[in-house]
Amino acid sequence: MPDTHYHILSTRPLDKSLIEEAEKQGITIDQADFIATKPIHTPEITESIQSVARKKITVVFTSMNAVDAVYAQLQEALPAWDIFSIGHTTQQLIHKYFSKAVIVASADDAGQLAREIIAKGDIRAVTFFCGDRRRDELPDLLKSNGILVNEIIVYQTLMIPAITSAVYDAILFFSPSAVESFFTCNTLPAHTIPFAIGKTTAEAIRQYTTNKIITGNAPGKNSLVNEALFYFKNKNTN
């Protein structure tokens, strides 16, 4: 094991193999959930989902939680949607659940995804499946460019604030909601580096700290973990 030992907090559960690999490199990773998601199962939402499932429309997903929630309320016939999607994990779920759908374009953050939709030039309306704490950037950009946004809120995000007693060298954040929940009752020591899965999450972190922020270069939680491991491996050799 390396002489220097680092301590990281992940605000989302990680694969066991990643935890073990980190330990080999002299890095301990603790895990704690700061948010939870709950699908919304009401007759109104179910009817809305099943109604649009029968139509050839353009659909937007910016969360794997939305993909899970929508799929759980579909009947046997799968929709033949044109889909715009955020990042790696969400795309994988779409391919898994919606075999008849077409992913028209994807992006690493909501703002870029909105610009991809606008750039098509012929899209007049989209159905946006989202959570109750979704950010404004995507729908605002679309509406300001004359695109109608039909929002269907399919899941809730629940805060689980908790005080962290340990002092960490880095904290991994995977969503703006997790950032908000963490900073509800915690602050960062000057040496602690927050890692953000994307630009939107990084912007949320900047509201609470002036510490150096490292934003992931690729989507997906595994990529962010590996980026943190690479950072501290290089720090040991410098």
CATH fold for the domain made of 6-34+160-237 = Rossmann fold (3.40.50)
112 alpha carbon, distance to own chain's centre: 14
- Confidence at residue 1, expressed as pLDDT on a 0 to 100 scale: 43
Q: What is the pLDDT of residue 238?
A: 57
The pLDDT value given to residue 190: 95
Among candidates 189, 157, 148, which has minimal Cα distance to 176?
157
In the chain, list all ranges with CATH 3.40.50.10090.
6-34+160-237, 37-157
Residue 162 near residue 78 (C-beta atoms within 8 A):
no
What is the CATH topology of the domain spanning 37-157? Rossmann fold (3.40.50)
Answer whether residue 99 shows pLDDT above 90.
no
Q: Per-residue pLDDT tens for 41-63? A: 999 999 999 999 999 999 999 99
pLDDT, tens digit, 9 for 90 and up, residues 160-191 = 999 999 999 999 999 999 999 999 999 999 99
Place of tokens 């039909």: 150
What would the mean pLDDT of 135-151 be, rounded to a whole number? 96
Q: Which helix (DSSP H) or strand (DSSP E) does residue 236 occupy?
A: helix 221-237
Rounded-to-integer distance, Cα 210 and Cα 205, Å: 9
Task: Tell which wins on pLDDT, 236 or 215.
Answer: 215
For residue 109, what pLDDT is reported? 85
Mean pLDDT (whole number) for 67-78: 88
Return the exposure string of 119-140: e unless at least 16 CB atoms fall within 10 Å of the residue's CB, then b. eeeebeebbbbbbebbbebbbe
